[in-house]
Amino acid sequence: MKLYQPGDTSRAICPHCGKLVSTTFAYRDVPFEDGSGVVKGILAAVCDECQNVIAIPAQSTPAIRRARDAAEISLEVSIPAPEVEILDAAAYRVDPSATTRFRKSLFAFYLQRLRHSEETAEMLRRDFEAWNAVKTEQRKRVSRGIRIPHRRLSFKISPKTDRDVQWLMETSGMNKTDTVRSVVMEIEKDLLGPNTPRELRHLQDIAAVVNA
Ligand SMILES: [Zn+2]
């Protein structure tokens, strides 16, 4: 990949001038293709004749993607309080100094692992139904009439994570709440089970970065 510097020149077809023109690289505010916003100050090829941005070098695309992904989407569900506690116990297992901020990383990590095949999503739904039946029965037996409250779980997620959630919902046929709860189930199985979780080291590295 060629790394351009501001002031570098090149030649390109300008769609505004309708001909081959010389261009100069400079920092410009560039709108997203879908017009949903503007990325400020990225290096772009500017037409020397009409001053319009006519090309974006490869080195600038991560900045565009980052700006787009920073547009956050709110994921909010209300789940049984013991399941929020599962999430927090799992976070503690990974890193005793983890804060509630790490909940989201755990959720996104396990969500990411699940979005591989329709078969996985189908199996997840069946596992979740069985798990939910066991949990409901357990809570009924142990609590002897004490009401189990629900707690709100609220994450700010990137459009990419939101697409993963939507994919899992559509593929598994579960609603949003059950989709989130099924990921909590996966976290419980992996991190709070009797075996050392396969991904523990990896997750500890992620926790260190999130806490940084
Ligand atoms: Zn031009």
pLDDT of residue 71: 65
Q: How far is the CA of 10 from the centre of ligand 1 (A)?
A: 13
Q: How confident is the model at residue 175 (pLDDT cuts 50, 70, 90)?
A: very high
CB 102 within 8 A of CB 89: no
- At which residue do the structure tokens 């798990």 appear? 131
The model's pLDDT over 50-89, given as tens digits with 9 standing for 90+, comes to: 999 999 888 888 877 777 666 678 999 999 999 999 999 9
Q: Where in the chain is the domain with CATH 3.10.20?
A: 9-69
Find the 17 Cα to ligand 1 centroid distance in Å. Answer: 4
Measured in angstroms, how far is the CA atom of residue 67 from the centroid of ligand 1? Answer: 26
Residue 39 Cα to ligand 1 midpoint, Å, equals 21
Q: How many CB atoms lie within 10 A of CB 39?
A: 20
- Measured in angstroms, how far is the CA atom of residue 185 from the centroid of ligand 1? 56
Average pLDDT over residues 121-133: 95
Ligand 1 centroid to 28 CA: how many Å? 15
pLDDT at 34: 65
How many beta carbons lie within 10 A of that of residue 105, not counting itself?
Answer: 19
Distance 92 CA to ligand 1 centre (A): 57
Q: Quick check: 108 and 102 in contact, CB under 8 A? A: no
* 5 vs 98, higher pLDDT: 5
Taking the centre of ligand 1 as the mean of its atom positions, its distance from the CA of residue 6, in whole angstroms, is 18
Q: How far apart are CA 110 and CA 189, in angstroms?
A: 11
55 alpha carbon – ligand 1 mean position (Å): 11
As its CATH architecture, domain 9-69 has Roll (3.10)
Q: What is the pTM of this model?
A: 0.70
Q: Looking at the chain, how many residues does it have? A: 212
CA 37–ligand 1 middle distance (angstroms): 23
Gap from CA of 19 to ligand 1 centroid (Å): 8
- Would you place residue 130 in the very low, low, confident or very high pLDDT band (cuts 50, 70, 90)? very high
